[in-house]
Amino acid sequence: MDTANRGYQCQRLISQFWGQYSPFFSVPSEIPDDILLPDCEITFAQLLSRHGARDPTASKTKVYDGTIQKLKANVKHFPGKYSFLDSFAYTLGADQLTTFGEQEMVNSGIAFYDRYEKLAKQSIPFIRSSGEERVVKSAQNLSQGFHLAKTASDKQADANYPYPILVIPEGAGINNTLNHDLCTAFENREPYSSMGSKAQQTFLGTFLPPITTRLNTDLAGANLTATDTINVMDLCPFITVASPVGAVSPFCGLFTEDEWHHYDYYQTLGKYYGYGPGNPLGPTQGVGFVNELVARMTRKPVNDQTTVNHTLDDSGETFPLGDALYVDVSHDNDITAIFSALGLYNSTAPLSNTSIETAQQTKGYSAAWTVPFAAKAYFEKTKCRGSMEEFVRIIVNGRTLPLETCGGDALGRCTLTKFVQSLSFAAQGGKWNLCFKT
């Protein structure tokens, strides 16, 4: 079950703990995300979205297939809750959106229209996508959902559909604020390039051995390794989102709720230390997009010397500054870096790699809460009667952020001036100067 506003709601006690492989769900918010004071109106909305649910990557799908083949070859009998493996065949593809993921993005487009209907009646969003096929397809599905909601509301044809989508290519040496690849120290050098995986490996030792032992005891002859065990856990979300309706996979029932919580934290460590605040160069990978966001909010040309493609951004055709609605579709790692460059989780203390912390303890930081499949962050500007200043508010997957870095009020709002001032890290280029030091 997946809805436009609440997202995936099946078996929430486990499905909301699959890290970045969780389908989008509405995250609990201490500040209601739908409060708008009577004398205020939304004047600007930027949606930053992750692509929808997909098959495993090409390298991972081979590994998962290998784990299943190993089980089939080594185990003569699959008892009880493992019995589904008798007839299970690995059929997942690689890299592409699933039917479920396509619907997630259609739902996201509907939700975007519904939330900003007053603006959406007057304009269509300017849409960009990073160049990976699943990202482009996600942008198309999102635009389809927006179109469906618009025609249903207006009760007339939408002459602008299909909406233009600006696709920014991915590849070596290409400036693209929606896909990291340029900073060579971050991509290829120690300690930056392996910080996430090292934090994960340390944490694995705290919770995985008993699980591997149990699987090997239950499945005589399996001889599973720690890597095999994580692969089997990964199959739970991937088989689930391979179902057109998101039917929960039998793989999910092989593990307890507590084990899924540890799995979620394991994935969170990978994001935090791989692309987030825990990596000295992680936030720098998101600086370019942050500077683009500032340009759009202030209607001033982009000032950036990191990942911005100035051939595109210096043109009003390919980077308009006067629009009310914007959509950008990207990847989980890039969005993690962008959130970090914005300082959205600066109040999160460095994550422990030896003991689990809940999303509440990390002040809202977890992979499932920030970058699930079809993740969506709304960046809003509002204008209120009696105030000379515009206000900024940010909602990540339904959770209104407190914006502590710019003195957010009880509604999670900062003035535009203070918001921009709080982004000095991005304005100064982050630590881009370290990217090419030998």
Is 147 part of the annotated catalytic residue set?
Answer: no
**Phi and psi of 290, rounded to 5°?**
-60, -40
Nearest to 254 by CA among 3, 82, 56: 82
Query: What separation, in Å, do the N-terminal and C-terminal C-alpha atoms of the chain show?
Result: 51
Query: What are the structure tokens assigned to 64, written together?
Result: 């998962």
Nearest to 85 by CA among 99, 63, 68, 97: 68
Query: What are the structure tokens assigned to 13, written together?
Result: 């006690």
- 74 torsion bin: left (phi>0), alpha (psi -120 to 50), beta (else): alpha
How far, CA to CA in Å, does 298 sit from each of 61, 94, 264?
44, 40, 37
Q: How many CB atoms lie within 10 A of CB 356?
A: 18
> Which of 51, 147, 180, 331 is labelled catalytic?
51
Q: What is the DSSP letter of 86?
A: G
3-state secondary structure of 37: coil
Q: Cβ distance 249 to 67 under 8 Å?
A: no
Nearest to 40 by CA among 420, 397, 393, 406: 393
Strand partners, 127: 165, 327
Nearest to 415 by CA among 374, 375, 367, 383: 383
Can you list the positions of beta strands (E) in 38-94?
A: 40-50
Query: What are the structure tokens assigned to 145, written together?
Result: 């959902």
Q: How many CB atoms lie within 10 A of CB 283?
A: 26
Query: What are the structure tokens assigned to 142, written together?
Result: 């999102």
Query: What are the structure tokens assigned to 189, written together?
Result: 């050098």
Strand partners, 167: 129
CA distance 208 to 294: 43
For residues 413-426, one letter each, b for 16 or more C-beta atoms within 10 angstroms of the residue's C-beta and e for the rest, the string is bbbbebbbebbebb
Active site residues: 51
